[in-house]
Amino acid sequence: MPSQAEERSASISQKLASHTYVIPRDLIEMIYKPDYSGAPNPNPNWPNDTVVRLDVQWPTFTASPKADSGDKAKRKIIISMIKGTTRTVAQHLDNLHELHFSPEIGAAQYELKEIHSDLSKNFREYIASPENGPEYLIHCNQSESETVATLYYSCNYDFDYFGLAVNVYFNSPFLSNWREIHQKTVTLLDSMRTD
């Protein structure tokens, strides 16, 4: 059984928004702490909050292997966390209406709803309705009019979690597993949050 010192060295403690997270080191892809002290005129739009990116493997949500084979790269899920909030589905739809993009909502596979609009020709947007929590948008870079067969596409979605804007990036073969990806993401975040 590892000692407390060994367990601490296998993880790091990071404050994000108003909570502290104990994050296993092997899950960390990057921790970005902005420092603009050397910039003569820092851009006011640059982020000032720490960004944590985790790299996990589908379906286990354990650390991705260091040597990426094609299958392992396909199974990679990136989870990014930064202080903030995300746009709601209603806000997104209101924005599309205001810009006259005529959004329409229709049925899609995997118990999702798809948003069709004049804007969404080179990508697909889905509304996901989890059992617990608010709806969120899943954005996939798959064109509505597919002319070249592509092995898989990237998908991502954002959701709010205890003062954090969380982005989850995964590959399209796992779109059918969106509920489980979301639940495992929330479970992972819950297990790392200490207060």
pTM to 2 decimal places: 0.87
Structural domain that includes position 169: 4-192
Over residues 56-78, the pLDDT tens digits come to: 999 999 998 776 677 778 899 99
In degrees, to the nearest 5, what angle opens at C-alpha 173 toward C-alphas 79 and 64?
40
**Chain mean pLDDT for the chain:** 88
Question: Which DSSP category does 64 fall into?
Answer: P
pLDDT of residue 65: 78
Distances in Å between the Cα of 130 and the Cα atoms of 21, 41, 55, 172 are: 24, 43, 23, 18
Q: Would you state the pLDDT for residue 40?
A: 81
- pLDDT score, position 93: 93
Domain count, the chain: 1
Q: Which pLDDT belongs to residue 146?
A: 57
What DSSP letter does each residue of 65-105 carry, written as one string? PSS--HHHHHTEEEEEEEES----HHHHHHHHHHTT---EE
Q: What pLDDT is attached to residue 151?
A: 66
Residues of the chain with pLDDT under 70: 1-8, 67-68, 121, 143-151
